[in-house]
Amino acid sequence: MRVGIVGYGAYIPRRRIRLGEIAAVWGADAATYERGLELHEKSVPASDEDTVTMSVTASRRALARAKIDPSSIGAVYVGSESHPYAVKPSGTIVAEALGATPAVHCADLEFACKAGSEGMFLAAALVKSGEVQHALAVGADTSQGAPGDALEYSAAAGAAAFIFGSSNLVATLEAQVSFMTDTPDFWRREYMRYPRHAGRFTGEPAYFKHTLGATRMLLEKTGLQPKDFAFAVFHQPNGKFPMRAGKLAGFRREQLEAGWLSPWLGNTYSGASPIGLTAILDQARPGDRILMVSYGSGAGSDGFVWTVTERIDEVRAAAPATRDQLDNGKLYVSYGTYAKLRGKIRMGE
Amino acid sequence: MRDVAIVGVGLSRWGEVWDASLRTLWTEAALAALDDAGLDRVDSITVGSMTPGLFVGQEHLGALLADELGMAGVPATRVESACASGGVALKVGFAEVAAGLADIVLVTGVEKMTDVSGDECTAALAAAADAELEVFYGATFPGLYAMMARAHMARWGTTREQLAMVAVKNHRHGALNPHAQYRQEITVKDVIEAAKVAEPLTILDCSPITDGAAALVLAEIGVARKLAKGRPIVRVAGVGQATDRIALQSRADLTTLPATTLAAQRAFKMADKGPADVHLAEVHDCFTIAEIVVVEALGLCKPGEGGCQASSGRTALGGELPVNPSGGLKSKGHPVGATGVAQAVEITTQLRGAAGKRQVKGARVGLTQNMGGTGASTVVHILEVAS
């Protein structure tokens, strides 16, 4: 049975903070960060935006493109490392808001930055097994870096949602793989407010090993080569890593650019490569083949090969395009406003 | 005193070696040196390591590494003298052979630095400064060397570009060294425009954080002749060590390194040689300013002329007196405890004529200078091709 994406949607908050604004506060050299990380600005969630609200909006947009009855959604998976509640699922709120309850299986997923693609992996497999007709997978985050830490320059907010099914596909799933080892490069223990990371160890032995490992597995499994793809998108913790991974894997810049959002979006964690995929679907042509590889610290990568169908042209306009959300209507905030919005200011008792 | 020769050299992988621990790196270097010497037993082991306790929570390296090598039973000693630990480990090994305590000694150095964050690494290295008189007040090594650079610039007119040329030269050398951590060439502009660490020093004036190990096999000269297999025999002709006031603020002059001068005088005297006899040198360029002050302190140029040595090409490969043909600490990397041993590995390789693209032609006498802190410990070795 052919399975794949029936509808997709993205949500990017309007607020942005420039890297220079953050660097000035900490006395850091903005040019070094902009050049070194290829990052210029990042999205900031407003006080009424969190992982659940962004997930709901992205999912409603996916529903608008899928044009299905929400009660036919038999599974809802919300992947995030910034679920609003430590105990109480995000997924129940999302499923309720969409009208998918009560005949629905629901779980919140967590795997650092790859919780979103984990949900996609599971949703595709559940549909393929015939257990459910449609399944929703969301990757969303409002991630935080400790003030002044390198992560503060990249940790951003955004969401992407995908409804999986076996008919009326906009993109057929050709293959999916998972490449995972126990590699502790980034973590946050219970009661820790901000995550910790292992500096440069997060690069070569963590991000690159796993993204390139998953890419290799996908190419071996499908017998495809980089030139067979119209587009490729990799997890984007900053602007530099996904381009380097793509090039190391044998892709050209033109294949990577459509899904490369991080220089102006930041790292949306569980949303990163999923949002990149939505930007690609916004401009892909029927027959185009897309490679997507996520990365989550800890560490692992999920990889997918998609082929776009004729139906893409019918659904594209049914919801806001991802690039439009990224490029238009931006509201720049100061570090003071950013600190307030991110709860970094200690309030009175 | 018996004559001592270097009969084996070995290096581990150098760089950010994520998949190897301290013992693995050390064993790579030790086995390479033993293979190079054609030996499978030694009488004694010395290990130079600055602060494995702070870097990886491991002390007691002598027994640990003898055990790792399958040589439990052999006497093995860790030697510590901050960033000069490796050079002093070589001196200790030399003394054992020269005194007749051992015929064959495995001299090693190792540091595993990337298991901790950059901040923790800086703090660990700062333990080589005076904790009460310097570190307590916030001093770090980049800051201390930056003060030396400013003083040298003020006294001698040394320029920002001349500092940069040291890094440019050493990267050009390192680009020819398959063992170097950073093999890319850089420009003066790159150095000056790089992120500032402690003005006037930028990140490209500083040696990197490196995992790595180095090893030498020393033997009594008669044993060495039997092991030579046609290769030139490299003799340790001179050894000199000295100390200085540890805190920079206690010194009369920020632009000189008296311990380096003393150690060099002692080594030259023992070798019955002088600076003019040296064909190449490996010196402790932990920061660009260090190489400038060190070449002056060694007597390889006149005081105040250290700044123009790299920029004039005199200390570049092909110049009159190549300094740091390996790439130096700057490009080859600086696993602190291993550095002093690795300097002797490079000079030995050069004196054997086996340095490939970075070979200094006709090299028969080489010098190593390895120092700890802001130069409060220095050890100098003079190596020569034995006749």
Residues 270-309 of B with CB under 8 A from A: none
User: Catalytic residue among B83, B206, B286, B308, which?
Assistant: B83
Q: Name the minimum distance, in Å, from the CA of B117 to any CA of chain A.
A: 7
Q: Which of B257, B256, B289 lies closest to B150, judged by CA?
A: B289
The model carries a pTM of: 0.87
Is B83 among the residues known to form the active site? yes
**Token pair recorded at residue A27:** 């006395």
Average pLDDT over residues B9-29: 97
Asked casually if ipTM beats, i.e. exceeds, 0.95, the reply is no
Beta carbons of B169 and B191 less than 8 angstroms apart: no
Beta carbons of A208 and A170 less than 8 angstroms apart: no
- Confidence (pLDDT) at A278: 98
Q: Is A200 close to B16, i.e. CB distance below 8 A?
A: yes
Of A29, A32, A205, the CB nearest to B18: A205
Give the three-state DSSP class for B203: helix
Phi, psi of A76 (to 5 degrees): -130, 120
DSSP state of B245: -
- Confidence (pLDDT) at B35: 98
* β-sheet bridge partners, residue A134: A73
Give the three-state DSSP class for A121: helix
B87 falls in which pLDDT band (50, 70, 90)? Answer: very high
Q: Is B16 close to A32, i.e. CB distance below 8 A?
A: no
Q: Is A201 close to B18, i.e. CB distance below 8 A?
A: yes
Cβ–Cβ contact B118 with A under 8 A: yes
- Confidence (pLDDT) at A128: 98
* Topology match between the domains A4-170+319-341 and A171-308: yes
Cβ–Cβ contact A35 with B under 8 A: no
Average pLDDT over residues B342-352: 98
Is the domain covering A4-170+319-341 a CATH 1.20.1260.10 domain?
no
- Confidence (pLDDT) at B354: 97
Contacts with B352 (C-beta within 8 Å, 6 or more apart), sequence order: B231, B232, B234
Contacts with B133 (C-beta within 8 Å, 6 or more apart), sequence order: B247, B249, B250
Q: Which pLDDT tens digit goes with each residue over A177-187?
A: 999 999 999 99
Beta carbons of B210 and B111 less than 8 angstroms apart: yes
Q: Which of A322, A317, A274 lies closest to A294, judged by CA?
A: A274
* β-sheet bridge partners, residue A139: A79, A160
Q: Which pLDDT tens digit goes with each residue over A141-150?
A: 999 899 999 9
- The answer, yes or no, to whether the previous bond of B200 is cis (omega within 30 of 0) is yes
Say how many residues make up chain B.
387
A241 falls in which pLDDT band (50, 70, 90)? Answer: very high
Q: Which pLDDT tens digit goes with each residue over A43-94?
A: 999 999 999 999 999 999 999 999 999 999 999 999 999 999 999 999 999 9
Confidence check: pLDDT of B324 > 90: yes
Q: Is A200 close to B114, i.e. CB distance below 8 A?
A: yes
Beta carbons of B103 and B158 less than 8 angstroms apart: no
Average pLDDT, chain A: 96
Q: Which pLDDT tens digit goes with each residue over B260-315?
A: 999 999 999 999 999 999 999 999 999 999 999 999 999 999 999 999 999 999 99
B336 falls in which pLDDT band (50, 70, 90)? Answer: very high
Cβ–Cβ contact A198 with B under 8 A: yes
Confidence check: pLDDT of A198 > 90: no
Q: Which pLDDT tens digit goes with each residue over A99-108?
A: 999 999 999 9
Is A235 among the residues known to form the active site? yes
Q: Which pLDDT tens digit goes with each residue over B227-255?
A: 998 999 999 999 999 999 999 999 999 99
Q: Token pair 């599974």 is at which residue?
A: A75
Q: Which pLDDT tens digit goes with each residue over B100-151?
A: 999 999 999 999 999 998 889 999 999 999 999 999 999 999 999 999 999 9
A282 falls in which pLDDT band (50, 70, 90)? Answer: very high
Q: Three-state SS string across A211-273, please? A: HHHHHHHHHHHHCCCHHHCCEEEECCCCCHHHHHHHHHCCCCHHHHHHHCCHHHHCECHHHHH
Average pLDDT over residues A329-349: 95
Domains of chain B: 4-117+209-227 (3.40.47.10), 123-208+236-385 (3.40.47.10)
Cα–Cα dist B139/B183, whole Å: 31
Give the three-state DSSP class for A52: helix
Beta carbons of B329 and B285 less than 8 angstroms apart: yes
- Confidence (pLDDT) at A349: 82
Cα–Cα dist A17/B34, whole Å: 58
Q: Three-state SS string across B331-376, please? A: HHCCCHHHHHHHHHHHHHHHHCCCCHHHCCCCCCEEEEEEEECCCC
Q: Name the minimum distance, in Å, from the CA of A152 to any CA of chain B.
A: 17
Distances (CA, A) of A194 to A68, A142, A155, A331, B332: 39, 12, 11, 26, 36
Task: Kindly provide the b/e burial profile for residues A173-210, where b requires at least 16 CB atoms within 10 angstroms of the residue's own CB.
Answer: bbbbbbbbeebebbeeeeeeebbbbbbbbbbebbbbbb
**Which amino acid makes up residue A217?**
M
Is B381 among the residues known to form the active site? no
Q: Token pair 């063992």 is at which residue?
A: B179
- Angle, alpha carbons A252-A173-A79 (nearest 5°): 90
Beta carbons of B28 and B12 less than 8 angstroms apart: yes
Average pLDDT over residues B169-198: 96
Cα–Cα dist A159/A239, whole Å: 18
- CA B291: distance to chain centroid? 12
Average pLDDT, chain B: 97
Looking at domain A171-308, its CATH class is: alpha beta
Q: Which pLDDT tens digit goes with each residue over A308-326?
A: 999 999 999 999 999 999 9
Residues in chain B with CB shorter than 8 Å from the CB of A200 are 16, 114
Domain spans in chain A, listed from the N-terminal domain onward: 4-170+319-341, 171-308
- Confidence (pLDDT) at B280: 98
